[in-house]
């Protein structure tokens, strides 16, 4: 019984060490997470030994291909190497951890309504994450990846020519080496606005294809791409306006109302919905602060054939005027 309890305890320590490795190498730890990690290491010499073991194996083995052939759930890990050679254990561990990092792993950041969060990543890059946004960051030895699953983020990417930085939003992929740009996952479209440097925008499905250059667009400072995944349109903007939401300003020129409302909903106390889907395509030119959503809606009703219905608490309905 004692031997089983001891084995169980060792297994739990190994499992925790692997999870910490994924978090530490997955992008960034927040200050509280870093403090928790350091406390865990200091709590027991067995913790430090377990972490050093898995980290050394991770560093010794290069990234292994054919990750889809690995059933991570069935991979056996143990510090008792009686049944494995060290080389075999290294390969399995490296493959499994890489698989975790590139798929379900990494560090996930979320923000709530009206919340803007500053993130410092492990490579020296910085991200400002907008309201009601979700970002997953995954770093491995050969590349840096981020996935903007919802909302908006402004990236200041540290230069590292040996590890390009890829950011995906829906069906759109952005590739950078070092630059500053804003990325917005909007209502049906993805917007990429460059403040400094150069970025490449392409359909995510084409990103790893040899002929990706056929479909990609290269943007420099003062340019914005609007991508639906398959089609990418590029136009000029005022470079300093890229990421203006970071100081509480939202501005749009001849933009679909659906895009404007999608952004407004990330700051509004009440959910804004359409009673008539045709209103989504109404072109809007507007500028307002993130704390002036109600004022923007009233102005919209005064300039467009739209009625703003606030009859239900917590819900604002946009209807077509008769």
Domain ranges of the chain: 2-102, 107-241, 248-320
**C-alpha distance across the termini of the chain, in Å:** 78
The CATH topology of domain 248-320 is Phage tail protein beta-alpha-beta fold (3.55.50)
pLDDT attached to residue 190 = 93
pLDDT attached to residue 28 = 54
pLDDT attached to residue 23 = 67
Residue 279 CB contacts under 8 Å (≥ 6 apart), including other chains? 257, 306, 318, 319, 320
- Is residue 193 within 8 Å of 181, Cβ to Cβ? yes
pLDDT attached to residue 87 = 46
d(CA 15, CA 88): 19
Report the residue count for the chain: 322
pLDDT attached to residue 102 = 47
CATH of 107-241, one of 2.70.98.20, 1.10.3720.10, 3.40.50.2300, 2.60.120.1440: 2.60.120.1440
Low-confidence ranges of the chain (pLDDT < 70): 1-11, 22-23, 25-30, 57-105, 206-214, 229
How big, in percent rounded to 5, are the helix, strand and coil portions of the chain? Answer: 35, 35, 30
pLDDT attached to residue 10 = 65
pLDDT attached to residue 240 = 75
Phi/psi of residue 212, nearest 5 degrees: -60, -25
């Amino acid at each position: 019984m004692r031997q089983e309890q001891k084995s169980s305890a060792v297994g739990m320590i190994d499992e925790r060490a692997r999870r910490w490795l994924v978090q530490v190498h997955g992008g960034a730890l927040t200050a509280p997470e870093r403090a928790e990690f350091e406390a865990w290491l200091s709590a027991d010499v067995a913790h430090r030994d377990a972490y050093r073991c898995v980290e050394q194996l991770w560093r010794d083995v290069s990234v292994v291909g054919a990750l889809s052939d690995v059933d991570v759930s069935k991979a056996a890990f143990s510090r008792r190497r009686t049944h494995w050679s060290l080389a075999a254990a290294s390969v399995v561990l490296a493959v499994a951890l890489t698989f975790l990092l590139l798929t379900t792993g990494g560090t996930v950041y979320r923000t709530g309504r009206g919340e803007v969060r500053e993130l410092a990543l492990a490579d020296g890059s910085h991200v400002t994450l907008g309201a009601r946004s979700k970002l997953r960051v995954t770093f491995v030895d050969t590349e840096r990846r981020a996935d903007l699953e919802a909302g908006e983020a402004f990236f200041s990417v540290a230069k590292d020519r040996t590890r390009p930085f890829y950011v995906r939003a829906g069906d759109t992929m952005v590739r950078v080496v070092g630059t500053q740009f804003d990325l917005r996952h909007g209502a049906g479209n993805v917007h990429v606005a460059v403040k400094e440097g150069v970025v490449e925008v392409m359909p995510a499905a084409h990103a790893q294809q040899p002929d990706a250059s056929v479909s990609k667009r290269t943007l420099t400072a003062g340019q914005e791409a609007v991508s639906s995944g398959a089609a990418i349109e590029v136009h000029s903007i005022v470079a300093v306006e890229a990421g203006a939401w970071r100081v509480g300003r939202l501005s749009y020129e001849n933009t679909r109302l659906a895009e404007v409302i999608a952004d407004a909903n990330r700051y509004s106390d009440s959910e804004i919905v359409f009673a008539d889907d045709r209103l989504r395509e109404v072109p809007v030119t507007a500028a307002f602060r993130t704390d002036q959503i109600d004022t923007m809606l009233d102005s919209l009703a005064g300039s467009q054939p739209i009625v703003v219905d606030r009859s239900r608490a917590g819900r604002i309905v946009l209807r077509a005027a008769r």
